[in-house]
Chain A
Amino acid sequence: MPVAPTNRFLDPWVLAGISGLDLIAKTVVDGFLAGLHKSPDFGFSQEFAEYRAYSPGDDLRHVDWNVFARTERAYLKRYRGETNTGVMVLLDASASMGFGAGVSKFHYAKFLASAIVYLAHLQRDSAGLIVFDDDVRNFIRPSARQGQLMRLLHGVDTAELGKRTNFARPFFELQQFLKRRGVTVLISDFFEDPEKVVETVVPLRFRGNELVLFQVLDPDELEPKLGQAALLVDMETDDAIETSPEYARGEYREKIQAHLEKMRTKSRESGIDYFLLRTDRPLDEGLREYLTIRQGRM
C-alpha cells in the first residue's frame, strides 16, 4: 500500500540541491500548479473579460455560482487568457540579502524570481528582469520572444550580491522603462522604513501597473537566537553593535513585527500587494498561498 507523502511541498534545502534555475523554476511552478489541478484561473495576467451565458456542454467549473445564486441564471466567467501584460521582476541584490545560514535570502529570492518568470513564460506573458542594489546592475527588457526565458534565468543566475539597498535610484530609472501596463514584482528584504519604501515604489502603480512586494526574510531575522551577548556587524554598512540575548528575544522581535505590520498596512493603503516569505518555508507552498489570495481578490 503506497504511503502518502506527509508534505508534498518542496523544502528550500531540496531546491538548493537542484542545479540550474530552469529546473528549479519548473519544479516549483509545476509543483504548485499540480497542486491546484492546473486551474487556468491562476497566474499573474488573469483579467476578467466578460460573462457568457451557459450553454450545454460548457465546463461547469467555469460557472459563476454567485451570479447564479442572485439571478438563477448560469453564466460563465471568461478571462483574457493571454494579453500583452508584461511581468517585470525586480530582484534586490544588496549585501543584506546574503544573510542566512543554510539557504540564504538571496538564493531564495533567486528561486522565487525564476519561478515567477517561468510562470509568466507558461502564460506567454512578456517578462523582464532588473537586478539592483544601490544602482541597477542588470536589466533585461520585457519580452515574450523565443529564448527570453533562458535569458531571464541566466540573468537571475548570474546576479551577485552588491552593496547597500537604495530603492530610489533604480526605481527612478525603472519608471523610464515601464511604458506598458503590467505587473511589477519586487523581491527584497525591505530593511528600510516602510513609508519610504512605499513612497518610492508607489509611482509604478500610476500607469495601471500592478505592484507586488515579496518580502523575503530568514527565520533568524524574525527570531534571532543568541546564546550569549554578541557583536553584530551590519552586512551593508559594517557598523557594529553589541547586543544581548535578552534584547534579541524581547524588544527586537517586537520591533521587527511592528515593521512587518507597517509594511503590510502601508502597502494595503496604497493598493500594493504585499506578501512575506520565510526562507524556511517551501517556495511552492508560499507561491500557491499568494496566488490563492490574489485569485480571491479578482
Chain B
Amino acid sequence: MGFLSPWFLAGLAAVALPLWLHLLRQYKRTPQAFSSLMFFERRVQSSVRHRRLRYLALLAMRLALLILLALAFANPFVNRTTGATGRRKLTVIVVDRSFSMRAGNRMQEAKTQAQQVAAGLSGQDLAQVMALDSHLEALTQYERDRGTLRAAIESVAPSDLASSYGEFARALRAMEQNSGMQLAVHLISDMQQSSLPNFRDLQLGPHTSLALHPVGAAKAPNWAVESVATAPHVYDPKQTRRLRSTGMQSARKK
C-alpha cells in the first residue's frame, strides 16, 4: 500500500481542531446555582452519560471525516493480485477455427489439446468452450459437465475466415466485465501473425489470465513477401524478374 500524493497527509493535523473544541467545551461548562438539590437524584446522570456518549460519537465521526478526507486527497493505492479478489473462476477454452487451421492436421491437434485442458479441470470448475475466427463464438454455456464440453470441442470445424486476436481480446474484456468472474483463458491456435492487431487492442482485463497452446507452428517456416522490384512497364512477358523475400534459413535453401 502507498500514497500517490503523500503530502496531503499533512491535512491530518486538522483533526486537532475538533479535538480542541471538544476539550474546550468539556471543561468550560458553567455551573448553575440552584436552591436545593434534594429533588434531584444521582441516577439522572445516566442520561447525561448517554448524551456524553453521543457527543463522543459525534467527535469520532468528525475526526474520521477529516482523516478520510486527508487520506482521499493523498490517493492511496493497494497492490493486489488477481487471485485475491475472491471472484469465481471460469475456464474458457478457445479453439481457433480460422482458415489456416485447415492446414495439415492442425485442427485435430487443436482439438486434442483442448480436450487435454478440459480433462485437467476439477469436478467443480466452471468452463466454457468457444470458437475463434473473425469473431468469438460461444459453443456452450458455463458448464461443469465434461461431456458437454468435450462434445463442443469435437464440434468445432474450420471456417473460411481469418482469425482476429483483436476481436478475441475485446470479447474477453467484455466477458470479464459482464460475468464478474475471474477468467482463465486457454487459446489453442496456430498463432498466425496476420491475426495480430495493434498492440493496444490485445490488452486483457485485470481478472483475465491467458495461456497459449500453439499448434502446427513449430515446423512450418513463416513466409512473408517483403518487396517486389519490377519495371513500371513490362514489354517482354518472357523476361524474368527477381523476387526478394525473407524467411527462415531452411526456407531459403529450398
- Residues in A lying within 8 Å of B, measured CB to CB: 96-99, 105, 189, 191-192, 218, 221, 224, 229-237, 239-244, 246-247, 251-252, 255-256, 259
Contacts and interface: CB of A to CB of B under 8 A. Distances in A.
A234 B34 CA distance: 5
A52 to B, nearest CB: 51
Nearest to B32: A230
B47 interface: yes
Interface stretch (B36-44, B60-68, B199-207): B36-44
A2 to B, nearest CB: 43
Interface string B45-74: 101100100000000000000000000000
Q: Chain B: interface residue count, which band?
A: 10 to 19
Interface string B25-37: 0000111111111
A236 B36 contact: yes
Contacts of A242: 44-45, 48
24 contacts: A97-B35, A98-B35, A191-B36, A221-B35, A224-B34, A230-B32, A231-B29, A231-B30, A231-B32, A232-B33, A233-B34, A234-B36, A234-B37, A235-B34, A237-B37, A241-B45, A242-B44, A242-B45, A243-B44, A244-B48, A246-B47, A247-B47, A256-B39, A259-B39
Interface in B165-188: none
Contact of B35 (A230, A235, A243, A259): A235
Nearest to A233: B31
Given A231-B31, A235-B33, A244 B38 contact: no
A239 B36 CA distance: 9
A186 to B, nearest CB: 17
Nearest to A247: B44
Contacts of B38: 191-192
B47 A241 contact: no
Nearest to B34: A232
Contacts, number: 75
Contact of B40 (A97, A189, A192, A243): A243
A233 B33 CA distance: 5
A239 B47 CA distance: 19
A110 to B, nearest CB: 16
A277 to B, nearest CB: 15
Question: Which secondary structure dominates chain A's binding surface?
Answer: mixed
Which of A191, A232, A252 is the most central at the interface, judged by chain B CB atoms within 10 Å of its CB? A232
Contacts of B48: 229, 242-244
Nearest to B49: A242
B40 to A, nearest CB: 5
Nearest to A217: B35
Contacts of B31: 231-233, 240
Contacts of B34: 99, 224, 232-235
Contacts of B41: 251
Contacts of B30: 231
A218 B237 CA distance: 130
A246 B46 CA distance: 12
A241 B42 contact: yes
Interface in B89-124: none
A242 B42 CA distance: 8
Contact of B37 (A97, A189, A241): A241
Contacts of B39: 252, 255-256, 259
A245 B47 CA distance: 10
Nearest to B38: A191
Given A232-B37, A232-B40, A244 B32 contact: no
Interface in B1-44: 29-42, 44
B35 A99 contact: yes
A96 B36 contact: yes
B35 A189 contact: yes
Given A221-B35, A234-B34, A235-B36, 7 more contacts: A99-B34, A191-B35, A192-B38, A241-B40, A244-B47, A244-B51, A252-B40
